[in-house]
Amino acid sequence: MSEGQGRHFLQIPGPSPVPERVLRAISRQVIDHRGPEFKRLGQEVLEGCRSIFKTSGPVVIYPSSGTGAWEAAIVNTLSPGDKVLMVETGHFATLWRRMAERWGLDVDFVPGDWRHGADPTVIEAKLAEDKQRAVRAVMVVHNETSTGVTSRIADIRKAMGRVNHPALLMVDTISSLGSIDYRHEEWEVDVTVSCSQKGLMLPPGLGFTAISEKAIAASKTNRMPRSYWDWGEMLKPNANGFFPYTPATNLLFGLREAIAILLEEGLEQVFARHQRLAAATRAAVRAWGLEILCQTPAEYSPVLTAVMMPAGHDADEFRKLVLSKYNMSLGAGLTKLAGRVFRIGHLGECNDLVLLAALAGVEMGLSAAGVPHRAGGVAAAMTELSGRQASVAANLKVAAG
């Protein structure tokens, strides 16, 4: 048993494994990005993205990582000195805040313990206090990949509505899009930021911003300098399926295929599958007697589970051992959580047996590393998966009459 034998288990919360169909779609000759074949591809992916983000408005696609799309959201809508409200849900929210400050924004950063999501009541109270309506944007991470906590975006939008606050709502869906129910238009989100390498099951390299009419209006008057990220420059050629500069053509072939895969399964089924796999993972963690980092069941992430290491044991040493013995990559604890948690990704192209294999690797790794735990996590996950399957089958039978 060693790294390199058999297939690698990539169980980090993104980048996630790329399905064979997507790999094959990408693996082809490059085409002229100003020719008729590209025009069709561009139109198809720009249209297809709307169904994934659930919007009838534009989705801008950049050749970038998610961080680039974060920057696009800021520079297209805000001006230096603008006040924004952000919430410390974890490592990624903290990085987005740092970027906002580098762009000269005045960030009110609501402190958090990295075990809870953004609290709609706190956001409501903060906005109610803002009598001058100086806060220009509320910026939240939907699924905090560093902690396995999912914030309730629909509730946050409702909270903003209750105090009738005009701030833009910007949401990072980098690790939730295509895995967790998300509705850009229905939830009246102004800018949704995402990227390719998680729920969309593509390699890294595409960044996205879905944009509301209000965000487009803001982009016409804001005073932040930009060039590469400028929505105005993008939206003009996008109207005909083209891009203002060379797009990541082959990733767009992959994107077309990934959207088809998601829509064939059906987004609701994709979300339900993620919920099932996450519930089975939590059943395993509880059976081991270990603690889940997320403290609010309504905020458990369907994408990943962060597991706390018992005191006196180093999560990074454990991950190293799992990699060398079982050829599996688990997610590391980031910054504040370094060495204290490991993260199990269960997103994208993941099914019952892949998950059970991954959990078996964790359970064997816990034994091999001498981490105190109870056996039976995999068995608990199997019971959870079978039970949920049985209840889905029973529901279908009832529905069929």
Residues in contact with ligand PLP by the rule CB under 6 A: 14, 65-67, 92, 141, 145, 172, 174-175, 195
CB of 122 to ligand PLP, least distance (A): 20
Task: Select 107 or 195, whichever has its Cβ closest to ligand PLP.
Answer: 195
Which of 193, 116, 128 lies closest to 167 in space, CA to CA? 128
CB of 196 to ligand PLP, least distance (A): 8
CB of 57 to ligand PLP, least distance (A): 22
Residue of closest CB approach to ligand PLP: 66
Q: How many Å apart are CA 304 and CA 284, to the nearest integer? A: 13
Task: Select 14 or 42, whichever has its Cβ closest to ligand PLP.
Answer: 14
CB of 92 to ligand PLP, least distance (A): 4
CB of 68 to ligand PLP, least distance (A): 7
Task: Select 175 or 222, whichever has its Cβ closest to ligand PLP.
Answer: 175
Task: Select 38 or 92, whichever has its Cβ closest to ligand PLP.
Answer: 92
CB of 138 to ligand PLP, least distance (A): 16
Task: Select 207 or 361, whichever has its Cβ closest to ligand PLP.
Answer: 207
Task: Select 67 or 383, whichever has its Cβ closest to ligand PLP.
Answer: 67
The residues, any chain, with a CB within 8 Å of residue 212's CB and separated by 6 or more, are 57, 184, 185, 188, 189, 190, 191
Token pair recorded at residue 47:
């249209």
